[in-house]
Amino acid sequence: MADDKKTIESINAGFDEVAKAMVNVPDPEQPLNATHRGILPIGGLQLECYVLEDGRRVFAKRGMARAIGLKSEGGNAFLKTLSGKKVGSEITEALREKLENPIVFNITGADPGHGYEAETLVDVCKAVARADGKNKLLDSQKPMANQARAIVNALAKVGIAALIDEATGYQTQRSPDALRLLVQAYIEDEQREWEKEFPDDFYLSLNKVYGSDPYIARQGGALVINKPQHFGNFTNKYVYGPLESGEVLKELQRLNPKLDAKGTRKEKLHQFLSKGYGLEKLREQRQEVLTMLKLSDDINEFKRLYEKRFGPMDDQWSFFFSD
């Protein structure tokens, strides 16, 4: 009987090479792929953000330049500013090492990107703020310091990674605690002074689709824009409501409860939104709604456009009218 035992040939390779052949490990010599991409509104800006295949969250270098308010968005201007005597004196060696070695990554349908891990933006903003606090900045650089502080304040309550996960869709399932932290990013610790957030055009467009008179006369005869009570319900439902599936609105209503049966509140809801993140999200949604109002001849046409864009409305919105 023939001996049919098979022998196992030795592998002439090291452990790391064998492991790499068995497991799909990214090659450290090759740029990583961006698996998720999104837009993060922060500090009055819209910054492109990415999640790489190894889980790192990054901003593009040009976005970092925009974030701190540089007139030139090029990467060279960004590095030149941070290497100068003014801001550069507050850049640590560890941070400088990161800035001089940007991450190269692949973006589907675009040229390779150059960027930095998201936390680097926070470190840069803190360095700029420190330089300003020590009177090291030129007068022309003061707006950069204000922008840096706005970003740091916007991120004070929730990690930047959580916001990028939300913007890119990387985190598809969130725990209740994660949602609570995300809602906190929308809310200001103390209410802000009132500033107009809904332009006259918003209410004039509402009057158009509802078929109501755009102006009404006060007792003294002065004409003012017509803003009936149901416009408030509309705003809650279509502008505030979609922010985190109603969770932000419920928190705003808790902070600013009704004072009477008419629905009067002491303050405007948007006064409790954070300037760096909450207001940007509100403005983004408000603009979408205003665009659809302008395209609509009546309220039914608006609802059709809205549901086509955001999906059908259902019972989940009932709480907007019961508070």
> Could you read off the pLDDT of 195-212 as tens digits, one per residue?
788 999 999 999 999 999
Residue 304: per-residue pLDDT: 93
- pLDDT band at residue 323 using 50, 70 and 90 as cut-offs: very low
Q: How far apart are the two ends of the chain, measured CA to CA in Å?
A: 88
Where are the chain's structural domains?
Answer: 32-173, 200-321
Instruction: Answer whether residue 40 shows pLDDT above 90.
Output: no
Q: What is the pLDDT of residue 18?
A: 43
- State how far the Cα of 120 lies from the Cα of 103, in Å rounded to an integer: 12
At 298, list the tokens.
């009546």
Q: Which of 109, 132, 112, 126 is nearest to 61 (CA)?
A: 112
pLDDT digits (tens, 9 = 90+) for 291-306: 999 999 999 999 999 9
Task: Evaluate whether 237 touches 317 at the Cβ level (below 8 Å).
Answer: yes
Report how far residue 178's alpha carbon sits from residue 86's, in angstroms, rounded to the nearest whole number.
38
Mean pLDDT of 63-72: 76
